Amino acid sequence: MERVERDFYAREQEDQEAFLSQTWCNTCMEADLGMKDAKEYEQDGVIFVEGVCAKCGEPVCTEIADDDTDGEWDDDA
Ligand SMILES: [Zn+2]
């Protein structure tokens, strides 16, 4: 279960805002409360954004389904 850190802030601004707003909090049991202190990492080929709930401060984690996970973000040709 190797965990590889990635740079969330290397993403496009609008991607960042989307991931930071489209959350699910297991503590509040509510969607889209927002996330703070986001960090991105990859584990077993799956990318996650992890942060804390903007409402209650408990950890929240979003799994990113992304077709292009090899670090190249500018090859839409
Ligand atoms: Zn919460």
Q: Around 5, how many Cα atoms within 13 Å sit in the side-chain half-sphere?
A: 4
| Single-letter code of the amino acid located at 27 | T
| Domain-wise residue ranges, the chain | 3-64
Ligand 1 centroid to Cα of residue 55, in Å, is 5
pTM assigned to the model: 0.76
Ligand 1 centroid to Cα of residue 26, in Å, is 7
Ligand 1 centroid to Cα of residue 53, in Å, is 5
Q: pLDDT band at 67, cuts 50/70/90?
A: low
Ligand 1 centroid to Cα of residue 76, in Å, is 36
Q: DSSP string of 8-74?
A: GGGS-HHHHHHHHHS-EETTTTEE---EEEEEEEEETTEEEEEEEETTT--EEEEEE--S--SS--S
pLDDT digits (tens, 9 = 90+) for 18-52: 999 999 999 999 999 999 999 999 999 999 999 99
